[in-house]
Amino acid sequence: MQAEFLTRMQSLETTVKDNTNSLNSVTEALEFMNNQVEEITDKVSSLQNRVESLEKENRVLRDKCDELDAYKRRWNLRVAGIQEQRGEDVRKILIDLFSKVSPEIADQLIYTLDVAHRLGPRSEGARSSRRIIVQFLSRNVRDQIWRDARTAAVLKERKIRIFEDLTQSTKDARNKLWPLVEQARKEGKRAGFRGPFAYID
């Protein structure tokens, strides 16, 4: 009887030791996993900080590129409504047109109108003519034509429109502000845009 009891006790002790060893192994595994999780968490946190830093740097660089692009475009104008013809000399056509828009600077155009060409590929059978982009060597000449174009009779008669050459971000900003500008004009106020910003007097 006593021998059987001792045998059972030894068996129970062995079971307890085995369970204890198993628990110790599980505890060690959990501690290892916890350390791994902490290490991964630290790495993820570091990567998140790096990503945020890169995103900020990317925004800054994108803004600078947009500013440079917008600055370069201030020497440009876009023209719509000029009938397209094969073999046309777009630069000459615009020099003739702008001479009528701003006759007081007509003699400067041959020297200051640098490049002019149609935008995009030519499409056979297209109903409308492609727009034209023109780049000036003189900002003063460009600005004079832009101002005079608002009241030029020749443009109204020929249904030709002249636009600023805007970046997409500037267009988007103006589109958001347009309802305010439109409402101000309906109220008889002087309103318009300067770059991506609206002004209301």
Does the structure show a pLDDT above 70 at 9? no
CB 94 within 8 A of CB 116: yes
At residue 4, the pLDDT reads 67
- Provide the domain count of the chain: 3
Q: pTM of the predicted model, to two decimals?
A: 0.67
Please tell me whether residues 79 and 102 are part of one structural domain: yes
62 shares its domain with 94: no
Q: For residue 147, give its domain range.
A: 74-165
Q: Are 86 and 127 in a shared domain? A: yes
Amino acid 1: pLDDT: 61
Domain end call among 55, 71, 87:
71
CATH number of the domain where residue 151 is located:
3.30.70.1820
Both 29 and 85 in one domain: the answer is no
**66 and 22 in a common domain:** yes
**pLDDT of the residue at 88:** 94
pLDDT of 84 above 80: yes
